[in-house]
Structure 1
């Protein structure tokens, strides 16, 4: 780990040094090591808040390596804004966090992602819809982004996990804190199949003021935000607002017009959010984009089991009739029909007249 990263981690770990103060200091001192070695007068001229100023002075007495060693011990990665691994979509927003703490892995394929958000106090309908939508978009190769809150968020993560897909939780506290505590097991499963991430340093408590800022990261990581169920004052509407400001798509699931739990989502639809009645309402927004079509199909292919892949590899080269398939695969007809149905449902092949099949995407 180079000095720039070590001192950047040190600066980011200081209490009350948020994204704005961090950027302001780097703009003036050029790098975090210069902040560490700065004289007090220069520092005071830049930091107007007396509490933050005192916190930085106290932090300058601490060896920067101490915090880094703890991160290494707890297997927590750190991504700086200019690092290659920093999420591409997030880098595009105007107030991207300068530092991300990551427990788990962020991969290139996570650029193809959708956020699912909604109320903590959700109905059984909302929880079921959240899980089902998450499951289906995950099966189509999307990484599911959410906030690991109880309610809609938790079921969004669970749907992706059930589908064998990837999911990322954005926390409003340090990544070493399970919040709510009841989601500790879920948090561990997310880490195994994606990541929990935060702009806040270790041990940073889940204060109420953290969550609106956290929501800009949820939308910033995503191509679009799906609001499943939300009251008129739900924090998920803040996420939808950030999505609009960031140029991301906003989807909303309609709900009972007499239910307070759906007033927010119904209002979003009135304001122009895309109504989601089934998974196709989401997918059709991306099918016209060639870059996304390529990524969706690549990820779908990666989900195939050995038998599905063997059949797909045969069909993708040229159209095949059922007799050719039976002769080549040498599986029982019932199994071949099952595999063909699976590939058809995933949208990887299409059926032609004359009982022929061909690859659906070029």
Structure 2
């Protein structure tokens, strides 16, 4: 995307009420961000989801100071803007629900073409958690040349990234803040090495602080860019579990390493295993699943072994996709029952969630 297009994109982004969904809709309709800004209020308000008030804001609500500042910081930090409409935008990410309209990127952008695998977990890992994170990251890099993706947070994320760097591997960090903010601050010591063999990605503009609310949303990008997600160690409140849930929605393989039943730091990953995540005891457990996903085709005649609520839901989805509320009514289940059962079925790989809380069977 050229400089004028980037400026127009940032101008559109600065308008209050223009989020990723509306931005994708507008640019897809008009073709370029420049043409969106050139359109009149009447033409803009003809687009579904764009009311007259929003159209008027597009014409008069651009924050010029924000745009100027972002363009200046892009040059200062030698960063780029990658949009949903660029050829280099990862196809894998483009296909997820609610993909970012654009990304700020810094580093080796060619890594977006690599086969990648996510490793995530607790911010306060035990010595066991650190050791197994190092082990699997190293084996995925040296044995299978996979790029390691994580969130640059303390703990498991940082161990995964640093293991990649130590083994001359490639790594991608998806941030919950602007590219100009190094967080956590102790990771400043690996920043320069990271830029030589890695890529920083953020959907947040420069000067965005690492607010707690930013991190859950960025997790969908971590899983979206990956072939699969490995949780090496995570408690019940760990954000890594949200990455696993996003991965399920995106039809990614979800893996977890079992931990001691007495350790709260493994309670979340152990619970994922109870719900059907792939148990990992060696690198072969990951590789066999990934190669099977790439090479094997499912048998259309083979029915899964389901019982009780799962069997009822599976039969209801015969030949059609249904909204979660419709499923609950037809199955005679409460909201909590339907959610729990569908999650288990997703982990088993027999149903898939689509946009709008619609479910279909596989």
TM-score normalised to structure 2 length: 0.72
Q: Deviations over 1:299-330 (max 9, x none)?
A: xxxxxxxxxxxxxxxxxxxxxxxxxxxxxxxx
Q: Deviations over 1:151-181 (max 9, x none)?
A: 0100010111111100000001111111111
Change in CA separation of 1:105 and 1:214 when aligned onto 2, cut-off 3 Å: same
What CA distance in whole angstroms lies between the structure 1 residues aligned with 2:259 and 2:184?
A: 26
Aligned residue for 2:181?
177
Q: Could you tell me how far apart the structure 1 residues matched to 2:51 and 2:212 are?
A: 24
Q: How does 1:216-231 map to 2 (within 5 A)?
A: 216-231=220-235
Deviation at 1:39, TM superposition (A): 5.6
CA contact (8 A) 2:232 2:269 kept: yes
Structure-2 change in CA distance of 1:12 and 1:189 (3 Å): farther
CA distance in structure 2 between the aligned counterparts of 1:289 and 1:267, rounded to whole angstroms: 24
Q: Which position in structure 1 is the counterpart of 2:4?
A: 3
Are residue 117 (structure 1) and residue 114 (structure 2) matched?
Answer: no
Q: Is the 8 A contact 1:231 1:260 kept in 2?
A: yes
* Equivalent residue number for residue 192 of structure 1: 196
Give distance in 2, aligned partners of 1:19 and 1:146.
Answer: 22
Query: 2: distance between equivalents of 1:166 and 1:43?
Result: 43
- Distance verdict in 2 for CA 1:276–1:164, change over 3 Å: same
User: Structure 1: 5+ residue runs without aligned partners?
Assistant: 293-362
Among 141, 156, 159, the alignment partner of 1:152 is 156
Q: Within 5 Å, which residues of 2 pair with 1:101-116?
A: 101-107=104-110, 110-116=113-119
* Residue in structure 2 matched with residue 72 of structure 1 by the alignment: 75
Match of 2:147 among 143, 148, 157: 143
Between the aligned partners of 2:267 and 2:115, the Cα distance in structure 1 is 29
CA distance in 2, matches of 1:124, 1:138: 21
Structure of higher CA gyration radius: 1
Determine the structure 1 residue equivalent to 2:360.
Answer: none
C-alpha RMSD of matched pairs (Å):
3.0
- Partners of 1:255 and 1:20 lie apart in 2 by 40
Name the CA distance, whole Å, in 1 between partners of 2:236 and 2:12. 38
1:94 aligns with 2:97: yes
Deviates more, 1:245-254 or 1:175-184: 175-184
Tell me the distance in 2 between the aligned counterparts of 1:256 and 1:203: 41
Residue 111 (structure 1) shift: 3.2
2:208 to 183, 204, 208: 204
How far is 1:149 from its partner?
Answer: 0.3
Q: How many residues are aligned here?
A: 292
Q: Secondary structure at the match of 2:289?
A: coil
Distance in 2, Cα, partners of 1:49 & 1:183:
46
Q: For the Cα contact (< 8 Å) 2:15–2:57, is it kept in 1?
A: no
Aligned equivalent of 1:166: 170
Contact 2:111 2:198 (8 Å CA) reproduced: no
> Does the CA contact (< 8 Å) of 2:234 and 2:240 recur in 1?
yes
